[in-house]
Amino acid sequence: MFLFILYWLTRIVNISQLPIFNDEAFFISAIRRILADPASNLFINFTDGKEPLFFWVYTLPVKFSPDALLGIRLFSAVLGFLGLVYTQKLAKKFSVDQNLAGLVYVFSPFLLFYNRIGMQETLLTFLLIAATYYLVRSQKILAGVFMGLALLTKTSALAYLIPLLFFKRNKVSVIIAVLMFVPIIWGYGSVMTHNQGYFGLISPNEMFINFKMAVRWLWEYQGIMGVMGVMLPPVWLEILGAKIFFPRYFLFVMPILVIVVAKLLRPLRWLMILLIPNIILCGQIIWDVKTATLPYIEKYQYVESWAAGYGIKETAQFLKSQNIKEIITEDVMITKNGLEYYYPELKINSYSDQEEGTFVFKKSHEIANALKLNKVYNSFDVAVYRSHFGSQ
């Protein structure tokens, strides 16, 4: 019980401190469209080259929560909790102390960070650890169902499933997973096209760079115990084929690494001291993520770069206070979908050589300068401009 309370405290305290992230804004926008018109938008995910299950599952928090962003983040925490339960069950199967495995899981900064935001990786991680558990228990049908669900969540599941099935052959589970996947394979052309930009044949030099980054990220997220994760086959598959590489691409190996670490710690309890840096980083993420010593690529994406939603809420509030009903923006997802989230009544148009109106820009101001627009409001890195014609 103490472990479960500890989990929820670490996951929900200050869960809203990060601004809305680029992908979260898109997910909420797409899911709202699914809810408004399921017949037309059930497969809206394919327009962005993404798999469908995440969008369907996350309709629950978007529909029933008064705040969609808070809802999807809390739902990720729920899925992270289910991942904790299955990690403990799998640990017990391998004769590893369940409580120790649970403690390592709770104080994994890598898992904690993603359990607190609305991204696909937390759902995928839960589905894959559940599939592993049922495969180890030789519950072939359930293993196949969770494998199929994982494939419908993100194609990167293959990096985990291929090594898993190599070590634990199971034709029945594979057949079930394929049968679940086949009915919507017609829409996967866009997913494959999207994935070609992220995964494929790369040079040995690129592989070496990926290797160095994976080691660095695991070290920065998980300390000395984390570096062992680079020995896991799914991480190597990502290293050998990732054209664009982010830490979240191998988040799904963390429950397995948790069990390995717990196995090593059990006979040498004094080694628990190695978890102290993880506990400190978890505290930083919870209380002030801006100062957290996260891998730079993570801080760049979620905290510092154009993809982070700083200023979007304030800009929406300003537009609403000025009774501005229509704007023109750059074609930037966080700006368009973020403003839509905070100001649903606002009509948003993408820039296409208009010379009049109210313009909102996120990552660059070149268009504003070219059109000689007047800045009327600025919030962090988001600025609102009005044309000389004052058409709004």
Q: Which of 363, 314, 374, 378 is nearest to 343 (CA)?
A: 314
- Integer Cα distance of 268 and 263 in angstroms: 10
Residue 321, pLDDT > 50, answer yes
Q: Average pLDDT, stretch 114-140?
A: 97
Measured between alpha carbons, how far is 215 from 312 in angstroms, rounded to an integer? 34
Which carries the bigger pLDDT value, residue 274 or residue 329? Answer: 329
- Please name the residues in contact with 94: beta carbons below 8 A apart, sequence gap of 6 or more: 259, 263
Cβ neighbours for 389, distance < 8 A, ≥ 6 positions apart:
355, 356
Q: Which structure tokens are listed for 186?
A: 């017609």
Rg from Cα positions in the chain: 22
Distances (CA, A) of 253 to 198, 200, 238: 19, 21, 11
CA distance 292 to 310: 17
pLDDT in tens, 180-236: 999 888 888 898 898 888 899 999 999 999 999 999 999 999 998 899 999 999 999
- pLDDT category at 273 given cuts 50, 70, 90 is confident
In angstroms, the CA 368 to CA 93 distance is: 61
pLDDT in tens, 31-76: 999 999 999 999 999 989 999 999 999 999 999 999 999 999 999 9
Cβ contact 14:58 at 8 Å: no
The pTM assigned to this predicted structure is 0.94
Phi-psi group of 21: left, alpha or beta (phi > 0 → left; psi -120 to 50 → alpha; rest → beta) = beta
Cross-strand pairs, 21: 308
Q: Measured between alpha carbons, how far is 152 from 167 in angstroms, rounded to an integer? A: 22
> What type of residue is 53?
L
Break the chain into its structural domains and give their ranges.
2-304, 312-386
The answer to whether residues 87 and 128 touch, using CB atoms and an 8 Å cutoff, is no
**Spatial separation of the C-alpha atoms in residues 181 and 149, rounded to whole Å:** 8
Encoding tokens for residue 152? 């419908």
- Tell me: pLDDT of 392 over 50: no
Q: How far apart are CA 283 and CA 265, in angstroms?
A: 22
